[in-house]
Chain A
C-alpha cells in the first residue's frame, strides 16, 4: 500500500486528496494502536488512562477521515473530555495510582490462554477481512449521508425525526444512570430507623422526658 500511496502521491489534485486521506488514516491507525497497546501493557492506571486518550484521539481522526465531523468533535468532548477525566478522578480518588499488585495469578492458565485467544481471534479476523462483500446491506435506508447539507444538520434531522423515540430513551437512560451512581456511591450511614429507635429508648428511659 505504501508503494501505491507513494506512486500516486504527486500526480494530481484528487491524488493529493487521496494521499491526504491515506495519511490521516495511517496517523490515526498508529495513534490507535499505540494507545491500545499502552492501555493493556502499562502498569500504572494513570498511564493507561492517558494512553486511552491517545486512542480516542486516533478514533476521532478516523472519524474525520470518513467525514463524520460532528462525531469526531463529540468523541473528543465526551470521551477524552469527560469519560477519561472521570476515570482519572476515580483513580486519584481511590488512590490506586500505583503499579498493579503483582501477586500471583489466581488461575495460572488465564494469561496464556487469553494471549493465545487474542492471537487466534486476530488471525481469524484477518482471514475474514479477505472477504470483499461485507457491505451487503441496502444503502441509504435512514437517509443519505453524502447529499447537500452539513453533517450536523443531517444527523440532527435524523435524530429528531426518525430516531426520536430512541433519543428520548437515551435521556431516560442517562437520568437512571445518574440516580444509580448517586445511590451506589452514597456512603453507608447508620440507618435512620436505628437512630429513631435509639431516640425512642432515650425518650422512655430518660428521666423527665419530654411529655
Chain B
C-alpha cells in the first residue's frame, strides 16, 4: 500500500530534478530520467493494484494521509490519497500510457533546444494527473486539475517562438478556465451543502443509500461539475481549443490531448456518479452533449487535411462517446472506452508523430501518400489503431463502443442512432486518412523539407523508420489495442473491468443497464455494418486525392463555430470590455487608487511639519503625554 506514495513522489522528484538540473543532465539522459520516474510510478501503481486485488471488494478503499492542508474551523482538507478501484484503474492506465509516451519522446524530441524543459513539464504533468485521480477530495483533485491545465498550457506552447503555438496555448488555457469556473462553483455549492470536499464524506453516504440529495441541489452541482468536465474534455461548447492544441509536440498530443488529461472530465463525472444519480436532468444533459459533440466533431474530422487535426477532432468525438455512455448511466462502459481509447488513440498519435518525423515535420496529408513501404513498423501499428478506432471487431474500439451504444439504446434510440452514425463517420474519416497517408502515390519530394523543423539532425532523403525508442511504444500500444478488450469482454465472465469497478458504482446509484441479448446482437451487427460501410466508402472515395465535393468549406471550417466565436469575442465583447476598462477601470478603480494615494501623500505632507528635527520638541511631546497620563491617574485615584 505504501507504494502509493511512490506513485506520487517519483514524477514530482523527476520534475524537480529536471527543473533545477535539467540543463546539466543534458540531452538523452534527462529523457531517460523522466521515463524512469514515470515507469517507476507505473510499477508502484501495479503494486498497489495487486495489493488491492488481495482484498475483498468492500474494503478496497484505502486512505493515505500525507498531511493536513487546510484546517479551518469545521473545514478540514487533507493532502491525502484515496486508493479505490476507480482511482487505481485510472492511475494504472495514466502511468502506463504515460511511461510509453515518455519513452517515445526520448526519440521524438531528440536534438530539441529545450529538451530538459520538455521532460520537466511531462513529468510535472504526470504528477498533476496522478494527484487529480488519486486525491481523496474534490479540492485536492482540483489542485491536480489546475496542474494538468498548466502543464497543457506549457506543452502546447512548448515552441512558444512560433506565434501559432503561443496563441493556441493561450486559447487552451482560457477555454479551460471557463470550465474551471464551473468546477469551482460546484465546489462552493458542495461546501455549502455538505460542508466538506472529501469524496468519502460527500459521496459515501449517497452511494450507500444512507442519505439522499434534493434534485435541485444535485442538478446544480452536477451541471457545474459537468461544465468543468466539458472544458477539460473538450465538449460542446468548449471544444475549440483541442484542435489548436495540436501545435504542441506530437507526444504531448498523444499523452495530454488524447489519452489522459482530456479524460479527466470523464473521470470527474464517473467519480461524481452518486450525485448525478439524483438528477436525471444532468444525466440527459451529459448524454445529449456527448452525442452531439461526437457527431459534430466526426463531421468536421471528415474534411481536415492536417494529420493531427483529424485525430484531434476524432478525440473530441470519442470523448463525446464516453460522455454518452456515462450519461446513459453506464459509467463502466464510458471508463472502458476511455481506457481502450487511450490505447488506440495514443497509438495513432504516436504513429502520426512517427510519420511526421519521417517526413521532416510535414503534417499535410495531401502531401503524403504511399508511405507504407518506407515505415514498416509504423504502418501496421497505425492500421491496428485505425481498425480499433473504426470499431472493427475484434479490436478494442468495437467492444467499448458497442457497450456504450447498448446503454445509449437503453436511454433512447435516438441517442443510439446518433452514436451509430458517428461510428460510420469515424470509419469513413479514418479510412480517408489511411488512404491519403499510406496508400496511393507518394506526393512528397524527398528533398523538399531539408533542415526544417524543430528537431534537426536528419536531412532530406527518403523517409526512414524511427529509432527503437519510438517504435517500441508503438508495438506495445498496438498489442494493447488488439487485445485490450479482453479486459472487459462481454462474455465468458471476462468482464474484469466491470467486476473491478462494481464497488465504486453500487446498484443503489447505478442501476444496471438491461438490454436483451437478442437486441444486443442486432445492434452490434447493425453498427458493425455501418462501420464497414464507412470503411469501404472512405477507402474507395479517397483513391483520388482531390475531391472537393467531399470537403465542403463548412466542414473544413468546422461549421464556422470557431470563426463565429472569434467574431463575437473580437466584436461586441471587445468593445464592451474596452468600454468597461475606460469607465470602470480608469475612472472608478484607478480613481479610487489614485485618490487614496493622493490622500496619503497629502496627509503626509501636512504631518511632516510635526517632525521639526528638534529633540526638545520631541521631549515636549513625551512630557505632554506624561501629563495626560498623570491627569488620568489623578482623577481615578484621587476619588
Chain A in direct contact with chain B (Cβ < 8 angstroms): yes
* B interface residues with partner A (beta carbon < 8 Å): 612, 614, 616-617, 620, 623-624, 626-627, 630-631, 633-634, 637-638
Given known contacts A128-B638, A131-B638, A107 and B614 CB-to-CB distance under 8 angstroms: yes
Which of A78-86, A119-127, A202-210 touches B?
A: A119-127
Asked whether B612 lies within 8 Å of A114 as measured between CB atoms, the reply is: no
A113 within 8 A of B: yes
Q: Which residues of A contact B612 (CB under 8 A)?
A: 106-107
Q: How far is the CA of A68 from the CA of B422 in the complex (A)?
A: 109
Asked whether A117 lies within 8 Å of B631 as measured between CB atoms, the reply is: no
A110 within 8 A of B: yes
Q: How far is the CA of A128 from the CA of B637 in the complex (A)?
A: 7
Asked whether A106 lies within 8 Å of B627 as measured between CB atoms, the reply is: no
Q: How far is the CA of A114 from the CA of B620 in the complex (A)?
A: 7
A130 within 8 A of B: yes
Contact sample, A vs B, 7 pairs, CB 8 Å cutoff: A106-B612, A106-B614, A107-B614, A117-B620, A120-B627, A127-B638, A131-B637
Q: Which residues of B contact A124 (CB under 8 A)?
A: 627, 630-631, 634
Q: Which residues of A contact B624 (CB under 8 A)?
A: 113, 117
Binary contact track A95-107/B, C-beta < 8 Å → 1, others 0: 0000000000011
Q: Which residues of A contact B634 (CB under 8 A)?
A: 124, 127-128
Q: Which residues of A contact B630 (CB under 8 A)?
A: 121, 124-125, 128
Q: How far is the CA of A71 from the CA of B43 in the complex (A)?
A: 84
Which residue from chain B places its CB closest to the CB of A128 in the assembled complex?
Answer: B634
Q: Whole-angstrom distance from the CB of A112 to the nearest CB of chain B?
A: 11
Which residue from chain A places its CB closest to the CB of B635 in the assembled complex?
Answer: A127
Which residue from chain A places its CB closest to the CB of B639 in the assembled complex?
Answer: A131
Q: Which residues of B contact A127 (CB under 8 A)?
A: 634, 638
A contact residues, total (Cβ < 8 Å): 14
Asked whether B620 lies within 8 Å of A113 as measured between CB atoms, the reply is: yes
Asked whether A110 lies within 8 Å of B637 as measured between CB atoms, the reply is: no
Q: Whole-angstrom distance from the CB of A117 to the nearest CB of chain B?
A: 5
Nearest 3 interchain pairs by C-beta: A124-B630, A127-B634, A124-B634
Could you say which of B614, B631, B634, B638 has the most chain A C-beta atoms within 10 Å of its C-beta? B634
Q: Which residues of A contact B617 (CB under 8 A)?
A: 107, 110
Q: Which residues of A contact B627 (CB under 8 A)?
A: 117, 120-121, 124
Q: How far is the CA of A121 from the CA of B616 in the complex (A)?
A: 18
Which residue from chain B places its CB closest to the CB of A133 in the assembled complex?
Answer: B637
Q: Which residues of A contact B616 (CB under 8 A)?
A: 110
Q: Whole-angstrom distance from the CB of B347 to the nearest CB of chain A?
A: 74
Which residue from chain A places its CB closest to the CB of B619 in the assembled complex?
Answer: A114
Q: Whole-angstrom distance from the CB of A45 to the nearest CB of chain B?
A: 17
Q: Which residues of B contact A107 (CB under 8 A)?
A: 612, 614, 617
Asked whether B623 lies within 8 Å of A128 as measured between CB atoms, the reply is: no
Q: How far is the CA of A28 from the CA of B253 in the complex (A)?
A: 99
Given known contacts A130-B638, A131-B638, A110 and B631 CB-to-CB distance under 8 angstroms: no
